[in-house]
Structure 1
Amino acid sequence: MLIIFSSCNNEEKELTADAIIDKTIEKAGGERYKNAHVEFTFRNRSYTSDRNGGLYEFTRSFKDSLGEVKDVLNNEGLKRYREGEEVKISDSLATLYANSVNSVHYFVQLPYGLHDAAVQKELVGQDTISGKPYYEIRVTFAQEGGGADHEDVYMYWVNKEEFTIDYFAYRFYVNDGGIRFRVAKDPRKIEGIRFVNYDNYKTDDLSTPLEDLDDLYEEGKLMKISEINNEILNVEVK
């Protein structure tokens, strides 16, 4: 019995950040992400995601004062269409739209994006939130392949028993910068893929270490600024 206990203890201690995230992705859907079609709405805009192995296509559709707009982001870049006709846009606007489209799809399909080659993961500690134990994993991004916001820093709290991301925080630098802390809610699985909504909090003290945000949340010292609700309309796994 002592040998078995010691073996289990060593296995827990030896879990790396990569191994923890791998288990989290597997728990959330694993291989099913790789060939999935997802349709959802977010803030009155329609989105679709198609993956086929290493190929992907993300779309965003909405109406403005001039009619129907559709942004299409794939492995080759972003194109914008208006009323079905391609619109020529500058490289700077294409980058801006691409980042916006990618960001929405990234958050909706977390934790899947954490497997990307540019993601740098570090297990920085363990903590408890509402009496449950969590791994604290810091995520940064390599400049190459890390996108326009590669300097942003994230912290993920992974439930040690369920291997789910129940909380995460990030520090961003665009538009004078800021810190956000998100609390996952409404977990559900559709076609074997896990989706959640979030309550979104902030602190105006930009010197706050991300790893302290869970304590501030429990102490009621963060300000709730929004709810992030995605209506999942359709999921197909090919």
Structure 2
Amino acid sequence: MKNLLLVLSLVFFISSCQDKKEEITAQEIIDKTIEKSGGANYKKATIEFKFREHTYKSVRNGGEYRLERTTVDSTGTFVDVLSNTGFERLRGDSLVKVQDSMALRIGSSVNSVHYFANLPYGLNDRAVNKQLAGETIIKGEPYYQLKITFQQDGGGEDHHDEFMYWIHKDNFTVDYLAYKFHGSERGIRFRVVYNPRVIEGIRFVDYENYSVEDFNIDLRDLGKMYENGALEFVSNIENENVQVQIRK
């Protein structure tokens, strides 16, 4: 009997250790996902791509960054720049004065495109709040669900927005994401990753973009709604001609 109790105690101890070992935090999931998608390459990369009618360029050097959007119209070429020092608009070598309210709106738009293009890198920004919001199965594949919100300090103009990321439990890739945006044109979007490719060690993707009318829906429900065909297709989000240079 004593031997049986000893064996049972040992089995319970090993089982308890395995359960503890299998626990994972939101931060650990994000760290593994960033490492899987590019890791340290993000911090020393110059990335250029075309999205719709604009050309975008990001230059990162450790904690320093410069995010650009170049537009060509009938009046010429101008570049909107968002960096550690703030926002500015350039036309040629000349600085163009922009009202503060407009600069905030344009800077937010430039940041948004670069944010999605470089995911999951931005999930470790200082203003990001991370929470493991359960696990689920979508189309037979297992996912962690991560809820992302932003602090007001450093969270930008859209710090009230709420995000949900579905990260594959084995591959540690972002395969689906959703966000609820507030303001005058509030709404919900659900994105499905397609066309993943790795360029110079960094993973890039395109998205199928979906919406749903009910603003009060829990973002965690959108994965199953997509699986059941209950979302409305909006558009494709495609970054073209992606070019990457990694500094040695």
Pairwise TM-score range, normalised by the shorter structure? over 0.9
The match for 1:209 is 218
| Selected match of 1:109 from 102, 118, 123 | 118
Structure-2 separation of matches of 1:210 and 1:126: 13
SS of the aligned residue for 1:98 comes to helix
**Matching of residue 72 in structure 1 with residue 81 in structure 2:** yes
Instruction: Using the TM superposition, name which of 110-119 and 79-88 deviates more.
Output: 79-88
1:143-182 alpha-carbon deviations (Å, 9 max, x no partner): 1111111000000000000000000000001333000000
| Larger Rg over CA atoms | 2
Aligned-pair identity in percent equals 51
SS of the aligned residue for 2:133 comes to strand
Quote the offset at 1:44 in angstroms.
2.2
Structure 1: gaps spanning 5 or more residues: none
The match for 1:40 is 49
Structure-1 separation of matches of 2:206 and 2:61: 25
**Matching of residue 157 in structure 1 with residue 160 in structure 2:** no
Q: How many residues align?
A: 237
The match for 1:142 is 151
Structure-2 separation of matches of 1:144 and 1:197: 30
The match for 1:182 is 191
**Matching of residue 49 in structure 1 with residue 58 in structure 2:** yes
**Matching of residue 235 in structure 1 with residue 244 in structure 2:** yes
Quote the offset at 1:35 in angstroms.
0.6
Question: What RMSD over aligned residues (CA atoms) do the two structures have, in Å?
Answer: 1.5
Give the aligned residue type for 1:54. G
Q: Using structure 1 for the length normalisation, give the TM-score.
A: 0.95
The match for 1:127 is 136
SS of the aligned residue for 2:214 comes to coil
Quote the offset at 1:231 in angstroms.
1.3
| Selected match of 1:223 from 232, 235, 248 | 232
SS of the aligned residue for 2:225 comes to helix
Give the aligned residue type for 2:83. N
Quote the offset at 1:4 in angstroms.
6.8
Structure-2 separation of matches of 1:204 and 1:26: 35
Instruction: Using the TM superposition, name which of 109-118 and 79-88 deviates more.
Output: 79-88
Structure 2: gaps spanning 5 or more residues: 1-9
Structure-1 separation of matches of 2:16 and 2:241: 44
Instruction: Using the TM superposition, name which of 32-41 and 78-87 deviates more.
Output: 78-87
| Selected match of 1:11 from 6, 21, 41 | 21
SS of the aligned residue for 2:98 comes to coil
Give the aligned residue type for 2:198. K
Quote the offset at 1:34 in angstroms.
0.5
Quote the offset at 1:7 in angstroms.
4.2
SS of the aligned residue for 2:184 comes to helix
The match for 2:29 is 20
Structure-1 separation of matches of 2:239 and 2:233: 18
Instruction: Using the TM superposition, name which of 68-77 and 222-231 deviates more.
Output: 68-77
1:3-45 alpha-carbon deviations (Å, 9 max, x no partner): 7776444322x20011101100010011110010001000021
SS of the aligned residue for 1:175 comes to coil
Quote the offset at 1:63 in angstroms.
1.4
Structure-2 separation of matches of 1:5 and 1:42: 50
Q: Using structure 2 for the length normalisation, give the TM-score.
A: 0.92
Quote the offset at 1:65 in angstroms.
3.0
The match for 1:81 is 90
Quote the offset at 1:69 in angstroms.
1.6
Give the aligned residue type for 2:20. N
SS of the aligned residue for 1:206 comes to coil
Instruction: Using the TM superposition, name which of 218-227 and 86-95 deviates more.
Output: 86-95
